[in-house]
Structure 1
Amino acid sequence: MTEERMAEQDGPGPRKGTAEKRQALLRGARTVFGREGYARAGIDEIAAEAGVSTRTLYNHFGGKKNLFREVLMDSAAEVTAAHVALIERHLGKVTDIGEDIRALAREWMAGRAEHAPHMLLVRQIISEGPHLPADVIEEWQRTGPRAVTEAVRERFVELGAQGLLNVEESNSLEAARYFTLLTAGTVTVDTFFGVVPMPRAEVDARVESGVRVFLRLYATGNSA
């Protein structure tokens, strides 16, 4: 049995250490997991990237599974918080439904570069899904994608109550999903989650097209 497997299986959990070393480990692990994936990433490589010893890694996280969980949840929570702030900023007080939704979609896509390290992790989840711990994937979905979709859904329900969107509780989840798919989905898929570059003008054109379709589906009056 490898040292890594033994460390993951024994003891009640990882011991705590300094906050600085913990953050260094999270940053280093995010880099290595994003580059190598979960299965290929090695404890020695992660520790070296973080500038700490493997023993320090075990003391903090207990092993690779716990470390991957912490990295993914930390990254997902950070991106979710940024997206929720965008949603609140653009849809919290709407003056022009078409322009406010356009502004949200544009800023959402413009921020992709800022979240590039997280997107690397997401690509690894997609490619290595069968090899990843199922409970970790479920927790990531709850913390990340589902939380963002729920934030959009709640705002759409409010806008529906204000008479600005043809959205009510019964179709609000559908509307939130369509908004994401129409404004970000084709860019995400066609760039393979950022692997293949796409000119900014093309990204902007796809966002505009997606918003226009969404508004035709859900906006009241002529807001497209």
Structure 2
Amino acid sequence: MTSTDRRGGRPRKGTLDKRSDVLAAARRVFGRVGYVGASIDMIATEAEVSTRTIYNHFTNKEQLFAVALTESSQQVAAAHEAIIDRNLPGDLAAPNLESALIELATQWRKPDNATAEHFAVVRRIQAGGEDFPADLVDAWQEAGPRRVRRTLAEHFAALGTRGLLHIDDPAIAARHYIALITTDWNSDAELEESVSTGVRTFLYGHLPRPATG
């Protein structure tokens, strides 16, 4: 929300806009220099606001980090859940299963500029070697990765019930699928090969087994 500054006729940012700017700036700074290296002053400069503005919204750096990461995690999780729902509908037919899983993986892996700041922080957490608060890391996991794995596991369980997949443990199957489709790649061709190979490997272990007599 914005209002107009009568003195100059310029748009003036409202409270919600400033909060969003601070959160986006915080993710950029945390992604660049890490949690320990970041400061409220650095984030204020990045957001082009005063430190007072930040403290009007957040108690301290720890709370700012928690909100910045968990809110973006929830947004990313919702986007991934939409991709899962779209590609693994309840009426998915067996002949389309492999292509659906490949398309799911492709959409999952495509870069998104809107989430680049979020994943810059995530990569720092995953790299280790930095003292990110454990409770905040757990909050991020619950808001994002665990939530998405649960959604994917529910869809795999449904596919297992319908006989399209052999699923002993949906949660483990979801972990296997994600691990197989998230290998590194440097081009669109490599991405296509990566997800196709990952999906076929997944299906090798999870396609229904022929009945034995």
Question: Residue 64 of structure 2 aligns with which residue?
Answer: 67
- Match of 1:165, SS? coil
The answer to whether 1:90 aligns with 2:90 is no
For the aligned residue pairs, the C-alpha RMSD in angstroms reads 1.8
Q: CA deviation at 1:126?
A: 2.5
- Match of 1:220, SS? coil
Letter paired with 1:32? V
Contact 1:37 1:128 (C-alpha < 8 Å) held by counterparts: no
CA–CA separation in structure 2 for the residues paired with 1:20 and 1:112: 22
Q: CA deviation at 1:78?
A: 0.9
CA–CA separation in structure 1 for the residues paired with 2:106 and 2:209: 23
CA–CA separation in structure 2 for the residues paired with 1:79 and 1:210: 22
| Structure 1 residues 70-219: aligned runs within 5 Å | 70-93=67-90, 94-95=92-93, 96-111=96-111, 114-127=114-127, 130-168=130-168, 171-184=169-182, 186-187=183-184, 198-219=186-207
Letter paired with 2:207? A
- Match of 1:166, SS? coil
CA–CA separation in structure 2 for the residues paired with 1:129 and 1:72: 19
- Bigger CA radius of gyration: 2
Letter paired with 1:154? E
The runs of 5 or more residues in structure 1 that have no matched partner are 1-16, 192-197
CA–CA separation in structure 1 for the residues paired with 2:111 and 2:162: 29
Deviations 1:188-222 (A, max 9, x none): xxx6xxxxxx1221121111101011111102379
Contact 1:37 1:124 (C-alpha < 8 Å) held by counterparts: yes
The answer to whether 1:220 aligns with 2:208 is yes
Letter paired with 2:103? A
CA–CA separation in structure 1 for the residues paired with 2:110 and 2:161: 29
With 209-218 and 89-98 compared, the bigger mean Cα shift is at 89-98
Q: CA deviation at 1:146?
A: 0.6
- Match of 1:69, SS? helix
CA–CA separation in structure 1 for the residues paired with 2:97 and 2:112: 23
- Match of 1:131, SS? coil
Letter paired with 1:25? V
The runs of 5 or more residues in structure 2 that have no matched partner are 1-13
For residues 104 and 141 of structure 1, do their structure 2 counterparts lie closer, same or farther at Cα, with a shift above 3 Å needed? same
Q: CA deviation at 1:182?
A: 0.7
CA–CA separation in structure 2 for the residues paired with 1:175 and 1:25: 38
Question: Residue 53 of structure 1 aligns with which residue?
Answer: 50
The answer to whether 1:32 aligns with 2:20 is no
Q: CA deviation at 1:117?
A: 1.7
Q: CA deviation at 1:63?
A: 1.1
Deviations 1:108-132 (A, max 9, x none): 1124555322210101212456511
CA–CA separation in structure 1 for the residues paired with 2:124 and 2:192: 26
Contact 1:38 1:128 (C-alpha < 8 Å) held by counterparts: no
Question: Residue 9 of structure 1 aligns with which residue?
Answer: none
